[in-house]
Structure 1
Amino acid sequence: MEAKFQTFLILLAVLAGTALAARRFNVAPAILLMLSGVGLAFVPGMPPVELPPELVLLMVLPPLIYSASVAMSWREFRNNLRPIVLLAVGAVIFTAAMVATATHYLIGLPWTIGFLLGAIVAPPDVVAPLAIARRLNMPRRILVVLEGEGLANDATALILYRFALAAIMVGHFSLPLAAGEFSLIVAGEIAFGIGVGWLSLRFRKWSRDPQVELTLSLITPYVSYWLPEHVGGSGVIATVACGLYVSWNGPLLISSATRLQGIFFWDLVIYMIEGLLFLLTGFQMRALYEKSKAFPLDDIMIATAVVVVIIVIARFAWLYPAIYLPRILSKSLRERDPSPPWQWAFTLAFTGVRGAVSLAAALALPFTLPGGEAFPFRDLILFVAFGVIFITLVGIGLGLPPVVRWLGIADAGRSEHFAEHEAEIAARRQALDAALRSLDALTEEKDVSEEVVRLLRARHDIRVNQLPDSLDPTHHDVSAAGTALTRELIVAERKFIHDLLRDGQITDETRRRIERDLDLEEASLANREYRGAPL
């Protein structure tokens, strides 16, 4: 137990150090974390660390999916539902079929094994590519489609995975039956996920205690995931539906104290889960290396190369017709939603990084068939899954920034980002105007002293004056200088309060209350600060 705890502390230290290195060298943390995991796995004396598939599929996946769903806008998800479904369902099925066909004719795998391998490697990961894409100032719609695809494609892949696995275990497969079951799973999980989200928000509103509400928020993804998964579904669709419901309906039902604490709580939870997941994925290289000694290396290399090439080609082959063909055939769609630039389509097609869910699905394969014989090609599937994850994460992850620069995608993203912040300033001003009208109405309805009204109007004027008139470079420079000076004033005030505490003029409780106000003001500065990181 002590050795395991020491290993855990080492992983945490590597996680923190790698995050700092990634920021220093402007590289996606997921890439360095996986490479660090591979390096650590071969350090002499380092105990092997296995990645139990049930840990990923039952413990890690629910909070990741739920958190991403809550962070996503239901309106943007709904407005981009067609491209999201085309990628999350259509592209996954098409890629799995392409992998099955290629491995059957080029490598000689049975059709059922090929479809199983295709289901494992078909779904792109959502964590690593989105982390890279956000830093590259990509247009908002590309980010929404990528995030929506990453949320839903695991469900398609895991359902295909179970169908293919069942066909191998029992020896037969019925396409009509599978299609009907797939439709039933989707409809049932959507309804169940919305029901769990509704109950979660009602319980949280009733409790009105931040600690209880955060506990309920942590339980919610597991309830929405485990029950459908237990009865033969994927659990992913229910969790996505639950998260989107909470995202749309939560702002008016969740208290401000819970929301403030929840942001930091969930940021830390997701940071730890994602970091340790990529580290542990890299750690699997040691176990796979030991197994590979009894397996022909040429077979592993050829199979991995074939699958990597196929999944890249399949994504391009599916995505371009899926984007442009419906608009060619439908005038109403063409007028309602004009065709995006080819650079956008190329970026979406290029962003096909595979993640730990693929490895977990491969690790979850049984060792034997019902008759007692060994599960066919199990080790080869494991090697190929890890190889695909490693090559796509490192290759595409490092290649995406120069590709985005070459395509000029960031220019559109910057313009969109600028317009979004201009709209934000306008919305803030309109909200303050609405609050001022409410103040006037309240003072007429209630007996409020002039002093209270004067203080409230002064607060309103301060908030209005804090808003910049524009986000052009001149105003931005002034705003940035004011923000920097405000931070220095907060530091000076915090130091003075500490001196008062040290001299015994105030108590610790007083210091904590004052510090909380200063912390909230500093967090407000960070929230208002315009961030436009150049490529």
Structure 2
Amino acid sequence: MHTLLPFLLAMIAAIVLLQMFAVKLKVAYPILLVVAGLLVSFVPGLPVVKINPDLIFFIFLPPLLFEASWTISFKEMRKWYRIITSFAFLVVFFTALSVAVVANHFIPGFTIALGFLLGGIVSPPDAVSTAAITKFVKIPRSTSAVLEGESLLNDASSLIIFRFALVAVGTGQFIWQDAAVSFLWMVIGGAGIGLLLAWLFVQAHKKLPTDASSDIALTLIEPYFMYWIAEQLHSSGVLAVVAGGLYMSSKRLIFLNSSSRIRGYSVWESFVFILNGIVFLIIGLELPEIVQGIRSKGIPLNTAIGYGVLVTVVLIIARMISSYAALIATLIFRRRAIPHVTNWKRRYLMPLLLGWTGMRGVVSLAAALSIPVTLDDGSLFPHRDLILFITFVAILLTLLVQGLTLPFIIKRTRLFDGIFNEAEEEETRRKMKHGLKQHVYEVLKSRYESDLNGHAGIEKILRQWEERAKVADDSWMNEKTKLIFVELLESQRRYLTELNKDPAVDEEIIRQQLYQIDLEEERLKII
């Protein structure tokens, strides 16, 4: 413990330094972390970092999925649900099937079940890698919503494939009827359990005398409860966390106060950053042990690298085919669903972009490491080390090749030139703020008209919203005025919630304004 703890602290320090270096180089930090972990792994004398395979999912996945479900725009998910669900389920299954067929044909000793196991591991793209890479280029909100929504659901679909394949490898048989019933329970039961627990958690936050610290502490353990209970009931813990997180995110204004929301945002951002950083470092640190494992099985390193490259190529091609197949199907069957686009290049190169965003990462590593060392009968799990090595190669190649070239492709093709209208976005913000101002003025006139004249505090509030003037002296803010001001802030939140129902309004702009309102309410507490 005394030797491992300094190493873990050094890992966190390295993550922070590498992230700052990545920002300076304008490179996605997961790429630097994987490369750094790979280089550090060859330093002699370092302790071996090992995580219990049974706990790998439980430690990392619940908080990562929970945080992602809070940051995604549910409105955008509803808008693009067809393409999101097709990528999250159909594309993942097609990718896993492609990997299974190729692995069965080209890798000696690989059965179809082992192929599906490998396919389930490497089929889901990593949201963290994609988000970290696309932050250096500007992409439309619709595209980022598709990528974020896909990443939330494809983890569940790929892990379901992984679980069924694991059973098939262990038992040597696959019963379709049982698998279908189990699949339905995992999907429907997982989502239902997550929603039920999320509702209970919301009620607990509302009725218990919590403060910001206790609210944040509860949100840190809630995804673990959702995941664990769903898994104990043999359902999908991933879907439980995603469904529960989406529900709680939609109710955040109801059960969390401004202090909990502001402080919780910072806590969760740091917590998830450290978790992601540790996983990407572990990806690199695990390589020497994985290489030793395949060599102990008599597999030449060059041969194993060739298998990894082959599977990676299959992943890229399968995603490309799926992207263009989705476009063709939409053009044939639902042409009216495609918005009118005068730029043909944008229409026909967009599937190329979606196909090239298939970087692998956290989920693939977690799934690979969770493969048991032995089967139920005590025999060694077949080709476990080779599967781990192929997974590592797929993660490394997709991060380096696709990750480093994606920003260049977007800039070179000028795919989104002319699609961003900063003047239009600024006009949306101006209209929203003007609407807020009018709303506040109407609330004041309707509820406090009799108090407007002669009350210095209320007149100050009215002038503030009418003129947006900064008041140097806060002595006018007495307790009654504070209550009125807080009521006006809450009224603004309701106004913005209603405004967010307009499909033309970007939810990100709404969330930014809600954050400003939370900050204003916090400022009132220290006056």
Aligned residue pairs: how many? 470
Matched with 1:101 is 101
Deviates more, 1:43-52 or 1:8-17: 43-52
**For each residue in 1:403-431, what CA deviation from the matched residue of structure 2 results, as whole angstroms up to 9, or x when unmatched?**
1112213435533x653343122112201
8 Å CA contact 1:136, 1:404 repeated in 2: yes
Alignment TM-score, normalising by the size of structure 1 = 0.83
Q: Distance in 2 between matches of 1:191 and 1:410?
A: 39
Seen in structure 2, the aligned counterparts of structure 1 residues 161 and 299 have a Cα distance that, compared at 3 Å, is same
Aligned CA distance change for structure 1 residues 325 and 9 (closer, same or farther; 3 Å): same
Q: Is the 8 A contact 2:87 2:154 kept in 1?
A: yes
Paired residue secondary structure (1:45): coil
The alignment partner of 2:251 has SS state of helix
Matches within 5 A, 1:293-442: 293-294=295-296, 295-334=299-338, 341-412=347-418, 414-415=420-421, 419-442=424-447
Query: Equivalences for 1:5-404 in 2 at 5 Å?
Result: 5-108=5-108, 109-206=110-207, 207-294=209-296, 295-334=299-338, 341-404=347-410
Cα deviations across residues 134-192 of structure 1 (Å, max 9, x unaligned)? 33111111100100111111111111111011111111112343233212221112222
Amino acid at match of 1:153: N
What CA deviation, in whole Å up to 9, does each residue of 1:3-56 have, x standing for no partner?
111101211221111011111111001111111111111122222212443443
Shift of the 159–191 alpha-carbon distance from structure 1 to 2, 3 Å rule, reads: same
The normalised TM-score by structure 2 is: 0.84
Compute the displacement of 1:354 (Å): 0.7
CA contact (8 A) 1:50 1:283 kept: no
Separation in 2 of the partners of 1:413 and 1:71? 24
Is contact 2:160-2:183 (8 Å) kept? yes
Which residue type is aligned with residue 206 of structure 2?
K
Mean alpha-carbon deviation: is it higher for 109-118 or for 198-207? 198-207
Give, in angstroms, the shift of residue 195 of structure 1: 1.6
Residues 44 and 462 of structure 1: is their aligned pair in 2 closer, same or farther, counting only changes over 3 Å? farther
2:105 aligned partner, one-letter code = Y
Q: Secondary structure at the match of 1:357?
A: helix
In the other structure, the counterpart of 1:531 is: none
Aligned residue for 2:493?
A: none
Deviations 1:452-501 (A, max 9, x none): 122112322453x69xxxxxxxxxxxxxxxxxxxxxx9xxxxxxxxxxxx
Q: Say which SS state the counterpart of residue 381 (structure 2) adopts.
A: coil
Which digits, 9 at most, give the CA deviation of each residue in 1:376-418, with x for residues without a partner? 1111111101111111111111011111112213435533x65
Aligned CA distance change for structure 1 residues 32 and 51 (closer, same or farther; 3 Å): farther
Q: Which residue of 2 is the match for residue 444 of structure 1?
A: 449
CA distance in 1, matches of 2:351, 2:79: 18
Output the aligned Cα RMSD. 2.5
- Cα displacement string for residues 344-384 of structure 1 (whole angstroms, at most 9, x for unaligned residues): 22111100011122122112112222333221111111110
Richer in helix (by share): 1
CA distance in 1, matches of 2:339, 2:394: 39
In structure 2, the gaps of 5 or more residues are: 473-514, 521-527
Native 8 Å contact 2:76 2:145 kept in 1: yes
Q: 1:447, 1:313 → 2: CA distance?
A: 68
- Give the distance between the partners of 1:184 and 1:336, measured in 2 at CA: 40
The residue identity in structure 2 corresponding to 1:411 is: D
Q: What one-letter code is carried by the residue in structure 1 that aligns with 2:222?
A: T
The 8 Å contact of residues 451 and 458 in structure 2, kept in 1 or not, is answered as no
Between the aligned partners of 1:178 and 1:65, the Cα distance in structure 2 is: 25
- SS of 1:395's partner is helix
| Residue number in structure 1 paired with 2:480 | none
In structure 1, how many angstroms separate the alpha carbons of the residues matched to 2:368 and 2:464? 58
What is the alpha-carbon distance in structure 2 between the residues aligned to residue 418 and residue 201 of structure 1? 39
Gaps of 5+ in 1: 467-488, 490-522, 529-535
8 A contact 2:41–2:284 mirrored in 1: yes
Q: Given residue 408 of structure 1, which amino acid in structure 2 is its aligned partner? A: R
Asked if structure 2 preserves the Cα contact closer than 8 Å seen for 1:37 and 1:282, the reply is yes
Identity %: 33
Contact 2:276 2:362 (8 Å CA) reproduced: no
2:15 and 2:278 in contact (8 A); partners too = yes
Contact 2:189 2:236 in 1 (8 A): no
Deviation for aligned residue 1:331: 4.8
Deviations 1:230-284 (A, max 9, x none): 2222311111111111222222332111111111111111111111221122111
Q: Output the CA distance in 1 between the equivalents of 2:334 and 2:341.
A: 10
The answer to whether the 8 Å contact 1:83/1:323 transfers is no
1: CA distance, partners of 2:420 / 2:19: 25
CA distance in 1, matches of 2:279, 2:234: 25
- After superposition, the Cα gap between the structure-2 partners of 1:72 and 1:335, relative to the gap in structure 1 and judged at 3 Å, is closer
- In the other structure, the counterpart of 1:518 is none
Paired residue type of 2:435: Q
Q: How does 1:513-528 map to 2 (within 5 A)?
A: none
Q: Give the match for residue 523 of structure 2.
A: none
- Could you tell me how far 1:124 is from its partner in structure 2? 0.8
- Once the two structures are overlaid, the 10-residue window that deviates more, 394-403 or 207-216, is 207-216
